[in-house]
């Protein structure tokens, strides 16, 4: 049957155009959150404090905002800071994010598609305390606030379609939308060929039926990955939806600017500013120092992916792989218990 409505890509691009219109015409600030740090929505720089993130935003001009926002159209949700809301087209100050959108559309007739709605999720972020916009509960960091919003306000906060990212006020409207817009779309399981309406259902099926348990699912195709980094590199190399950043000193490439800078500092400049408080040994970064500290604590946090034997340092584990699993060592990843230390 011939498709009559917009494709998933066209739908998400329309949503992203709405995001662009809000960002360039207001003081709304988009951001990302990864584990314990804020990330710039446009260049992926890392910030521990929200005030530093907000001050950094001035570095990105409107043309860059348009390009980078549309370049990541496949991401279904955009977190935005609405702690200081005002219109850039007039002196109007707003107190509510959705009032701002109504103002921009009704007063300034911006190019905003009201039929597809918004995929933006508003928060008020601050260095000292963060408040839930729904119930007023306070938090000291963004991570617990995000968990609280998803868990305690799932029925009252806006609901996003997992297929196209469109925003709905309740589950009834979402179900009606899925039936009309995505009834025949289907996501194919690469293991058995069965189709599913949402990525969530596909992931659950693959986990229970095919023993596939990978947390990070590609937002374009059904593939999934064990780490955020691996998914990001896949998105960059296979779907061309993320910029690849080149090291200025060697052929290595990265998907996060912060990782490239860390690589330059560690591999090329070899700056050792991290000192062990026990023996005075100096490391180029906190990860190396943390790994070194296992020598003093006796913890065995580096696990062989072949025989499950654990070791105190990565170096000892690599020696074990070379000695005991010589044939397989070149093919097996070196896995730390924490995703942060997966060797590529």
DSSP letter string, 43-72: T--EESSHHHHHHHGGGS-HHHHHHHHHHT
Which pLDDT does position 19 carry in this prediction?
93
Residue 210 lies in domain: 187-238
Same domain, 30 and 123: yes
Q: Is residue 256 part of a domain?
A: no
Same domain, 14 and 139: yes
Same domain, 210 and 279: no
Cα 305 versus chain centre, distance = 27
**pLDDT at residue 243 is higher than 90:** no
Same domain, 153 and 79: yes
**Residue 141 — pLDDT band, cuts 50, 70, 90?**
confident
Same domain, 204 and 78: no
Q: Residue 280 has what DSSP assignment? A: -
Same domain, 97 and 156: yes
Q: Is residue 203 part of a domain?
A: yes
Same domain, 141 and 41: yes
Same domain, 39 and 143: yes
72: nearest Cα among 44, 96, 92, 53: 44
CB atoms inside a 10 Å sphere around CB 41: 23
Which pLDDT does position 336 carry in this prediction?
42
Which pLDDT does position 74 carry in this prediction?
75
Which pLDDT does position 45 carry in this prediction?
86
The answer to whether 120 and 78 are in contact (CB under 8 A) is yes
Q: Is residue 172 part of a domain?
A: no
Render pLDDT for 281-322 as a digit per residue (tens, 0 to 9). Answer: 787 777 777 777 777 776 777 788 888 788 777 778 888 888
Q: What is the mean pLDDT of residues 35-39?
A: 83
Cα 201 versus chain centre, distance = 20
Residue 227, domain CATH: 3.30.160
Mean pLDDT, all residues of the chain:
76
**Residue 31 — pLDDT band, cuts 50, 70, 90?**
very high
Q: Residue 93 has what DSSP assignment? A: B
Q: Is residue 173 part of a domain?
A: no
Q: Could you tell me the sign of the dihedral formed by the alpha carbons of 143, 147, 153, 159, in that order?
A: positive
Same domain, 26 and 119: yes
Residue 322, domain CATH: 3.30.160.60
Same domain, 156 and 192: no
Same domain, 138 and 78: yes
Q: Is residue 86 part of a domain?
A: yes
Q: Is residue 257 part of a domain?
A: no
Which pLDDT does position 138 carry in this prediction?
87
Q: Is residue 337 part of a domain?
A: yes
Total domain count for the chain? 3
Which pLDDT does position 89 carry in this prediction?
94
Same domain, 12 and 127: yes
């Amino acid at each position: 049957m011939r498709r009559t409505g917009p494709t998933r890509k066209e739908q998400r691009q329309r949503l992203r155009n709405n995001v662009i219109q809000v960002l360039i015409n207001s003081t709304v600030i988009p951001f990302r959150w990864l584990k314990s740090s804020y990330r710039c929505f446009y260049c992926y720089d890392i910030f521990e404090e929200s005030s530093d993130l907000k001050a950094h935003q001035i570095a990105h001009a409107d043309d860059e905002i348009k390009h980078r926002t549309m370049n990541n159209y496949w991401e279904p949700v955009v977190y935005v800071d609405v702690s200081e809301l005002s219109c850039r087209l007039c002196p109007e100050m707003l107190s509510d994010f959705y009032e701002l959108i109504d103002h921009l559309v009704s007063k300034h007739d911006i190019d905003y598609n009201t039929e597809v709605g918004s995929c933006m999720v508003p928060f008020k972020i601050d260095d000292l305390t963060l408040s839930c916009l729904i119930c007023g509960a306070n938090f000291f960091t963004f991570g617990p606030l995000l968990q609280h919003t998803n868990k305690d306000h799932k029925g009252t906060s806006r609901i996003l379609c997992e297929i196209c990212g469109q925003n709905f006020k309740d589950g009834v409207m979402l179900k009606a939308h899925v039936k009309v817009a995505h009834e025949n779309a289907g996501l194919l399981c690469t293991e058995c060929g069965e189709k599913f309406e949402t990525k969530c259902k596909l992931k659950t099926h693959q986990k229970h039926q095919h023993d596939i348990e990978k947390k990070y699912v590609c937002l374009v195709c059904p593939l999934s990955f064990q780490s955020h980094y691996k998914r990001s590199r896949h998105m960059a190399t296979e779907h061309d939806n993320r910029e690849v950043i080149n090291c200025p000193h060697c052929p290595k490439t990265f998907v996060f600017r912060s990782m490239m800078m860390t690589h330059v500092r560690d591999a090329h400049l070899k700056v050792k500013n991290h000192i062990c408080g026990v023996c005075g040994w100096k490391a180029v970064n906190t990860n190396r120092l943390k790994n070194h500290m296992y020598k003093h604590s006796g913890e065995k946090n580096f696990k062989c992916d072949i025989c499950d034997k654990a070791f105190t340092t990565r170096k000892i584990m690599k020696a074990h792989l070379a000695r005991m699993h010589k044939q397989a060592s070149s093919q097996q990843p070196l896995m730390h218990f924490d995703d942060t230390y997966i060797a590529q």
